[in-house]
Amino acid sequence: MSKKVIVISASLRKNSNSQALARAFAEGAKEAGHEVEQLSLRDKTINFCQGCFACQKTMECVIKDDANEITAKIGQADVVVLATPVYYYSMCGQLKTLLDRANPLFPSDYRFREVYLLATAAEEEEAAVAGTRVGVQGWVDCFPKAELKETLFCGGVTEVGDIAGNVALEQARQAGRNI
Architecture of domain 4-177: 3-Layer(aba) Sandwich (3.40)
Buried b (16+ CB within 10 A) or exposed e, 15-40: ebbbbbbbbbbbbbbeebebebebbb
User: Which pLDDT score, from 0 to 100, does residue 58 have?
Assistant: 92
User: Which pLDDT score, from 0 to 100, does residue 144 have?
Assistant: 96
User: Which pLDDT score, from 0 to 100, does residue 50 have?
Assistant: 96
d(C-alpha 148, C-alpha 129), whole Å: 14
User: Which pLDDT score, from 0 to 100, does residue 16 have?
Assistant: 97
pLDDT tens for 109-163 read 999 999 999 999 999 999 999 999 999 999 999 999 999 999 999 999 999 999 9
- Look over the chain and give the mean of its residue pLDDT values, rounded to a whole number: 97
pLDDT tens for 26-72 read 999 999 999 999 999 999 999 999 999 999 999 999 999 999 999 99
Residue 115 β-bridge partners = 80, 148
pTM exceeds 0.95 for this model: yes
Domain ranges of the chain: 4-177
User: Which pLDDT score, from 0 to 100, does residue 46 have?
Assistant: 98
User: Which pLDDT score, from 0 to 100, does residue 124 have?
Assistant: 96
Q: What would the mean pLDDT of 90-113 be, rounded to a whole number?
A: 97
